[in-house]
Structure formats: C-alpha cells, structure tokens
Amino acid sequence: MPKIIDNIFFKMSKLHLNFGTTILAVKYKVPDETKRKHKVSIFIPVFNEEKIINRDIRTVEYIIRKLPTEYEIFIVNDSSKDKTKIIAQKIEQTNRKVKLLNYERGPTRRENLAQSFKWANGDIIVFVDVDLITSLRFLPDLIDQIILGYDIVIGSRYVSGSKIKRKPFRLIISLIYNACIKFLFRTHTHDHLCGFKAFKKDVILKLVDEMGYDKSLTRGIFWDTEMLIRARRHGYKIKEIPIWWSEREKSALYFKRELKTISYIFKFMIKLSKEKNGKS
C-alpha cells in the first residue's frame, strides 16, 4: 500500500495538477490588480535535457499563463552536449515569450544561470530547475510572497506542509548538510539547495554582483547557499514556503565533484571571516 501511495503522489507531482494551484491562490490571495503591476522573469537552467525540455517549458507556461502578471521565460542552456540547444532554438522561434540564453562554457550548475539574471525585464525573478521535481502548483505562492514584501522566497522541502519523495541515503545527506549550514552560518533556513526560488530583481542582482563568477567552477550547488548566507548578512527578508518535491529518477551524486565544492566551502568561510573583520 505505501508503494501504491508513493506512485500516486509521484504522478500527481509530475502532472502539476491545476486544482492545487486554485487552492493556493485562495490561501495566499493577492488582488489581480496588484499582480498586473508586476512582470515575472522565469529562468530555467538546462543541461542535456533534450527528452524533457519541450514538455517542461509547456508546463511552466501553462501555469504562469493563468496568473494576471506579465511574464517572460528564459531557457539557460548550460553548455548541453545533446540536442537541447536545437530544441530550445525551435521553442524560441515559435514562442515570443521564450528566450534562449546559450553558454558554451560549462556545465557550471549555477554560475551561468546567475549571470543570466541581468537580462530580465521583470521586477520579479524566478528560477525553476528544468526537471520540475518541485510541483508547479506552488509557483503562484512563490510569486505572491514577493509581491507581499519578501525579498527572497524559497521553496523548502523541510518545513511544515511539505511533501518529499527521496531515497533515504540522499535525504539523510541533505538533512545533515542543511543542519550544518544552519549551525555554522546562522542562516535560520531549513532548505538551502532547492531549485525553486524567487527574488526581487534589484536584490538578486546585487547579490550576484557581490558573489562574482567562480571561474574554477568549484562552487557548484553551494551557490544557492552562499547567496542565502549573504542575503541574511544584508538583512533581506527571506520566506520559506512548503512544497511537494519528488527526486528525479536518474539523479546521481558525483563525489569527486562534490569534494571540490567542499573545498570551496572552507575557502568561503575564510573569505567571509575576512570580510566580516574588514567591516568591523
């Protein structure tokens, strides 16, 4: 029975059911006339996603089109080696709401994505991982919370109301990582790594400028964490919202790559300490 329930949830999560969006729109209601004053720029990073990019872009647009806010969608091609670029070009040619940003150096995991934010025409910036492992039923709330006054809004897998489907080993690693970061840097954040975030444009551009571009490409997935640490230091208002999240079936850990990221974290701690001492 638990396996059957898990399978049902997995299918629901991937379908991004419309009735879920309606429920959340009632709970976190922002007047339509207020939403019309804003434009949302959605960034979707892709790397070797030829099999799912068409489906996922259509899904994102299906959800965002139901909102009264104006929108644009950026596909950030992080140096894909398959036909992702060709497919993305065709999508761009047939949909005026979609723009392709192509990068030859990579994959960078977050560096090229962060540098892409400067092309946003909207005052609200959202990024969503292309595999849509976070149910898009929560996208309206992500945007609403920015309109309501928060500077950064994070989809969180580890707050009350969230649902998560993940292999136990990966879940334990994730919980340990987040607990360590929370303790070491006093972030007060439960989930630093989820690829489902929204920002005020001026806030994220300031943070990206401060963080710079990691030419060594060792920062990796720590980009999200560093951004949140720096945001806390600036006193930005950060909100975590519950989400439904289901691990990608072919998700894998690359220990050699993650070890490089760990070395970056230690260097960052030293750098942060120097920055702090320099201000005092």
How confident is the model over 172-208, as pLDDT tens digits?
A: 999 999 999 999 999 999 999 999 999 999 999 999 9
Mean pLDDT along residues 227-247 = 96
Residue 1 is predicted with a pLDDT of 44
pLDDT band at 156 (very low <50, low <70, confident <90, very high): very high
- Helix (H/G/I), strand (E/B), else coil: 278: helix
For the chain, the straight-line distance linking the first and the last C-alpha, in angstroms and rounded, comes to 59
Are the C-beta atoms of residues 105 and 128 closer than 8 Å to each other? no
Mean pLDDT along residues 26-31 = 65
Residue-wise burial string across 20-52, b where 16 or more C-beta atoms lie within 10 A, e elsewhere: bbeebbeebebeeeebeebebbbbbbbbebbeb
Mean pLDDT along residues 51-60 = 95
pTM equals 0.86
Q: Does the structure show a pLDDT above 90 at 27?
A: no
Q: Residue 73: beta bridge partners?
A: 42, 98
Question: Number of H helices and number of E strands within the chain?
Answer: 11, 9
Distance CA 125, CA 98 (A): 15
Mean pLDDT along residues 231-250 = 91
Q: Does the structure show a pLDDT above 50 at 6?
A: no
Of the chain, the percentage scoring pLDDT greater than 70 comes to 86
By CB atoms closer than 10 A (0-12, 13-18, 19+), residue 223 is buried
Residue 79 is predicted with a pLDDT of 94
Residue 280 is predicted with a pLDDT of 54
How confident is the model over 98-113, as pLDDT tens digits?
A: 999 999 998 898 999 9
Are the C-beta atoms of residues 123 and 205 closer than 8 Å to each other? no
Number of Cβ atoms within 10 Å of the Cβ of 190: 18
Q: Residue 155: beta bridge partners?
A: 241
* Range(s) of the domain holding residue 195: 2-279
C-alpha pair distances (Å), 26 with each of 20, 21, 134, 140, 143: 10, 9, 20, 10, 14
Q: Does the structure show a pLDDT above 50 at 2?
A: no
- Read off the CATH number of the domain in which 92 is found: 3.90.550.10
Lowest average pLDDT, out of 94-103, 202-211, 255-264, goes to 255-264
Sign of the C-alpha dihedral computed for residues 10, 15, 17 and 20 taken in this order: positive
Number of Cβ atoms within 10 Å of the Cβ of 177: 16
Q: Does the structure show a pLDDT above 70 at 65?
A: yes
Structural domains of the chain, count: 1
Lowest average pLDDT, out of 13-17, 41-45, 116-120, 138-142, goes to 13-17
